[in-house]
Structures are given as structure tokens and as C-alpha cells.
Amino acid sequence: MRRKVMLEEVISVVKLSLFPVWSWPQPQDATQFKLFCVKLHHCLCIIIKLAFILSMIYTITNHFDDPEIFVQLIPITSGLIHTSLNLIFYTVNHHHIQNVTFEMVHFSGLMKPHEEIVVQRHIDKCVVYHGGTIFIYYMATFLTITLPFVTQQSFPTLTEYPFDVSHQPLKTIIYIHQSAAGILVAAQLCINPFMALLLWFATARFEILTEELGKITNAYQLFKCIKEHQELLKYTEEVAIAARPFALTTVYCSTVSMICFFLLFIT
């Protein structure tokens, strides 16, 4: 029988998966210096991925007449653009993400037994899919990073540069750059399970409220449920504001990648 995974464990795994890009919201009492370091790290992440995107574009322009390489590079470029946009959207919506995240963390520490049952149902439905998604992101990245050690390929990707990269230490620097970019992409993709966690947690809160409405016996309890319902509507609206941009970029970039994989298959 599979062991039950608690909400605190789910939160910890998601938080750990976002660590390379520091995309778990900082506490509301975080110092200005800490917030500055986070913003500086985000800028560095964007610069690393932007440099990789430019090299990918250069390679793509050199291989318009080679469909196999062209189609292999498009999904990687799409992923780089996708995660760069994710990081920008995270920065823009940081306040909303911070509010809904710490509301979830606060609730997880004060759950009553009947609330734990409802939340556990959602965890049981989602934990394998979301956990598997995070695992696949990082496993695919680490397998790609090891390609130069088991194949004749010089770098993790087929990227080309407008200068000679066969000499040291430039060759090692480029390998480290591509590997770091890959890890950042994997970590930034994990913001999708993070947004999914916020969405299904909001759903669980409404289910809990529905059960409480069925147990009302007096006007005071009804007033309490109405007040909680209004608070949940505000919470859900903030979750929607936070999640919408990530859903949009995921749909568009995934569509591009699927088209390219299909083209690779038929060629």
C-alpha cells in the first residue's frame, strides 16, 4: 500500500524543485538585501538563457536546409523562451504569488481532521503526475548534460557558435554554460506544477467549504461560511491572476514543440 504524502511534503518538494531559480516566494518580512539578491539572481538566469537562445538562433539559421537538426533545435529554443517568459511573469506577479503561497502554507499548518481528508484526496490524485513531471524535467536535463561523455557530441546540444570552440578553456566554459542553462530551464519548468498546486489547493478549499455548508445548524455558522466564501473568492481570483500567464506560455510553447516533434517523426 502506497504511503500517504502529506501537504507539507508536497510543498517541500515543489519548493526544492524551484531552488535553482529561487522562484519560491520570499517571506513577507524578508530583508531588502535578500530581495535584491533574488532579483540579481533572476537577472543572471535570464542573461544565461538569453545567451543560449542567441546561439540557438544562430545554429537554426545555419541549418534551414537540414530539417533533422532544425526540428531538434526548435523545441529547445521554445523551452528556453518559455522559461525566460516564466521568470519574467514570476517577477511581475511576485506579490500575488507570495500572497496565495503563504496563505496555503499557513492553512497547511492549521488544518482540521476533516480538512486533511479533503486535501489528501487531491494529493492522492495529483502527486504521481506532478512528482513524475518534476522528475522527468530534471532527469531529461541530467541525461542531456552527460551526452558529451558517452557520445562524440562536444556539448549537451547541437548548438554552433560564430567562433572556434574546440580549444580550452572556452570549450569547458561553453559546456558549463549549456549545463547551467539546462538546469535553470528544468527548475523554471517546475513552476508549472507549482501553479497546479495552487489551483488544486483552491479547489480543495471550496470542497471543504461545501462540506461545512452541509453541516450548518444556526445563523452564526451560516454567516461564518458566507464570510469564508467571500475570502475564498478573493483568494481564487488572486490564484487565477498568478497562474494565467504561465498557462498561456505553456500552451503556446508546448504547441510549438509538439508540432516540431511531429515534423521530426514524419521526416
DSSP string, 87-153: HHHHHHTHHHHHHHHHHHHHHHTS--HHHHHHHHHHHHHHHHHHHHHHHHHHHHHHHHHTHHHHSS-
Is the pLDDT reported for residue 182 higher than 80?
yes
Residue 253 φ/ψ, nearest 5 degrees: -70, -35
Is residue 29 within 8 Å of residue 98, measured between CB atoms? no
Average pLDDT, the chain: 86
**Tens of pLDDT along 74-126?**
778 888 888 888 888 888 888 889 999 998 988 888 888 888 888 888 888 88
Q: What is the pTM of this model?
A: 0.87
**Tens of pLDDT along 250-260?**
888 788 777 77
Encoded amino acid at 79, one letter: G
